Structure 1
Amino acid sequence: MHDIVTDPLYLDVTVNKRSTFEEPIPETHNGFIFVIDGTLLIESHHSNSAQSVTRRQLAVLGEGDRLVAHTSDVPARFLLVAGRPIGEPVARYGPFVMNTQDEVQQAMRDYQTGLF
């Protein structure tokens, strides 16, 4: 390994009921949360609004946002993932993520034939 190019942030967070979790997201990073259990009310400082995100839902965070997540009467668990953009095109289909649709199709063929 030569260096870490995305400066990743990976957190597995559990928030007790009627509690708040806060985490700054660097201005250079893009990020998302994926709710594993419970429901969160996520504040966005970019839009001065709040959004409810529940089990098995994903919410994309703005660049340099500060994550503020509130729980109600039940605890919640979620993943917070963020990193610097890699500056490359992204193509995806199902679980496959590559740079082009042709690469995605090839990865699917490789998987289906046991080469993956």
Structure 2
Amino acid sequence: MMTTFDDREKAFENKFAHDADLLFKITARRNKLVGQWAAEKMGLTPEETTAYATSVVQADFEEAGDEDVIRKLLGDLTSAGIDVDDAMIRAALEDKMVEARRQFIEPA
């Protein structure tokens, strides 16, 4: 009887770990996509776009939540003379999260 409960507990732990890993990957993909979106607005070259998208992904490791990414995007876009506000960036994050989820769910 104890084995059944142990097996169930292990299955729940495995599912939780899998779900957390998947969310991490989807969020990183979202950050890359929103970095590409911002780079396009700033008129960056393909090489600069790749580097910038990577920097947006890395910015997410500064603190929990999206505020670090929002702060980076808002600062960079504003410095580049792009008329953007917090709400526009949050909307872009939402749009890119949908796209990132789709990329992980749909086969290539």
TM-score interval, normalised by the smaller of the two chains: under 0.3
More strand by share: 1
Q: Which structure has more RCO (C-alpha within 8 Å, separation ≥ 6)? A: 1
Greater radius of gyration (CA): 2
More helix by share: 2
